[in-house]
Amino acid sequence: MSYVVVDVESDGPIPHQYSMISFGAVILDSTLDKTFYGKVKPVSPFWIPEVLAVSGFSRQQHENFDGPLKVMQEFRQWIKVSSLGKPVFISDNVAFDWQWINYYFHFYLKENPFGFSGRRISDLYCGMKLDTSRTHEWKKLLRKTKHDHNPVNDALGNAEALLEMKKMGLKIPIL
């Protein structure tokens, strides 16, 4: 089993009506050197300028990215060669990131290699601390890479936090 830490940037709140802009993924292992970066052209004519701006890309740049079929095929192949056993999706905000990756995999490839579930880092941390109010604490304490909305950097910071949580006693398989 391999944990794949994923982060998504989009131009709106929901798939199909809006578009994924980019996403990053990191295999959770001791080196954190297996990364993927996908930039996806819009699938909808709608976008929210303030939300798009968070990514650092203009609409014109976004429109020149690769098509989603190509990017999702590349991501599926990267997962296949980079992970061992069943890949497990994990992210900072699984409710947001999962919906985009799941939608794009199913819409363009008719399958999601992650299956039907994912894990949320904040919930793992809160469980370790036995306190559900500590949902954001780990972000400041355990990330090393700055959270800058580059999805590879953000996924890397989240993977670093998971490695720190393992040192704190979290039982999580690391390649």
User: Phi then psi for 25, rounded to 5 degrees?
Assistant: -145, 145
Closest C-alpha to 56, from 15, 18, 98, 11: 11
Active site residues: 149
Alpha-carbon distance of 58 to 93, in angstroms, equals 24
Edge-to-edge order in the sheet of strand 118-120: 35-39, 20-27, 2-10, 87-91, 118-120
Q: Token pair 């559900």 is at which residue?
A: 132
Rounded alpha-carbon distances, angstroms, from residue 146 to 82, 120, 149, 158, 161: 24, 19, 9, 10, 12
